[in-house]
Amino acid sequence: SQQGEEDPQALSIQEGENATMNCSYKTSINNLQWYRQNSGRGLVHLILIRSNEREKHSGRLRVTLDTSKKSSSLLITASRAADTASYFCATDARAAGNKLTFGGGTRVLVKP
Amino acid sequence: ETGVTQSPTHLIKTRGQQVTLRCSSQSGHNTVSWYQQALGQGPQFIFQYYREEENGRGNFPPRFSGLQFPNYSSELNVNALELDDSALYLCASSLASIFSTRAGYGYTFGSGTRLTVV
């Protein structure tokens, strides 16, 4: 079973709106990372949040981490058509040998 | 954009054959990981190498094997291909290792090799 599970599985929004997706995980982590994937190509690293951090910003991205609830959220503000992609959370846990464990992803469609 | 290159980009093989996929990692990244991504799913960890030694393996059979070379390149070998091996295979490199995990490093992924087994 996968460590991270994203919610929702799919999201459709209008350009300019905000997109929020959530990730839940099961075990203690060192850090949690978010990646974007366009049309089945390689993954692009977006942002990493460490277990002792609660919130992090990068441009139009805002990530939160709640270790007590074992959950994270990714907010994309003022979305653009170019944000259309699949978004994955991945956990890095020492107990898992420091490999990345991915969730199933959220497919985001931003309509112009 | 990416410092990780994979070859080939696409490959068609027949069931029972063997395949070798290649990856050139970002310079200085001692850790390389390989992932399998089936259509519509998240990547699944196959194994990880650190300084040419395997230091982590996912739930994949022994017919999946790998090598990492001193020049930051690596290979994924799959023997006795099955239809279910059809997937996108992703290579990722990082400064992360079991010794540096608390520093928190992201991974740089290649664009992947699309393998189709017929």
Q: Using DSSP, state whether B4 is helix, strand or coil.
A: coil
What pLDDT does residue B59 have?
92
pLDDT band for B1, please (50, 70, 90 cuts).
very low
Nearest by CB to residue A42, choosing from B45, B96, B109, is: B109
**Residue pLDDT, tens place only, B81-101:** 999 999 999 999 987 665 555
Q: Is the pLDDT of residue B14 over 90?
A: yes
Q: Position B94: which residue type?
A: S
For residues A102, A73, A86, A43, the Cα torsion angle rounded to the nearest 10 degrees is: -50
Other residues' Cβ atoms within 10 Å of the Cβ of residue B118 = 10
Q: Using CB atoms within 10 Å of the CB of residue B39, give its burial: 0 to 12 exposed, 13 to 18 middle, 19+ buried.
A: exposed
What pLDDT does residue B26 have?
81
Closest CA to A32 of A69, A75, A64, A59: A64
Q: Is the pLDDT of residue B55 over 90?
A: no
Q: Is the pLDDT of residue A39 over 70?
A: yes
Give the residue from chain A lying closest to B88, CA to CA.
Answer: A40
Q: In Å, how far is A102's CA from the nearest CA of chain B?
A: 6
What pLDDT does residue B96 have?
66
pLDDT band for B37, please (50, 70, 90 cuts).
very high
CA separation for the pair A110, B84 (Å, rounded): 32
Give the tokens for residue B3. Answer: 């410092």
Which positions in chain A touch B6 (Cβ < 8 Å)? 42
